[in-house]
Amino acid sequence: MAQTQKVSLPDGSDTWTVLDRDYAVVQPVEEWLRVACACSPNTVKAYSRGLALWWHYLEETGVN
């Protein structure tokens, strides 16, 4: 099951990412969050939660 993970950056700030069922970073989600979401940390957290649910759905249904 995909899940969100808080990440502490070297500059002291925090961000969020999505991990797949093998606890690996989901690269398409990571790239989208990095490029498309220059937002507040709370917004990134909310988006990553929604994307984790979506990734879980894709994993369970076998859709690429």
17-64 pLDDT per residue, tens: 999 999 999 999 999 988 887 788 889 999 999 999 999 999 999 887
Task: Tally Cβ neighbours within 10 Å of residue 44.
Answer: 19
CA distance 54 to 2: 9
- At 40 the pLDDT is 85
CA distance 38 to 60: 30
Q: Where are the domains of the chain?
A: 3-61
Task: Name the one residue in this structure whose structure tokens are 């950056």.
Answer: 9
- At 34 the pLDDT is 86
